[in-house]
Amino acid sequence: MPKLPNLRAVREAALYSQAELAALSGVAQPTISHLETGRAAQFVTVKRLAEALRVEPRELMDAR
């Protein structure tokens, strides 16, 4: 299961709060919070978040 070190930066660049991203992606806000602090994600979660943020999944996973 991948970690998402870029999730917070990509979310903030898109000007979404965690709650807004949760509503768009169907991923619970507490889960987004946990992922932003280093918890690993299931692949389906990565896909949902990437689609909501309009980025490729690897953009959430790649260290910059």
pTM metric for this prediction: 0.93
- pLDDT band of 64, cuts 50, 70, 90: low
Residue 51 lies in a domain: yes
What are the C-alpha distances in Å from 55 to residues 7, 20? 11, 16
Find the CATH number of the domain harbouring 56: 1.10.260.40
Question: Cβ(58)–Cβ(16) under 8 Å?
Answer: no
Residue 40 lies in a domain: yes
pLDDT in tens, 30-47: 999 999 999 999 999 999
Residue 57 lies in a domain: yes
Distance between CA atoms of residues 33 and 64, nearest Å: 20
Question: What pLDDT is recorded for position 12?
Answer: 98
pLDDT at 62 over 90: no
pLDDT at 14 over 80: yes
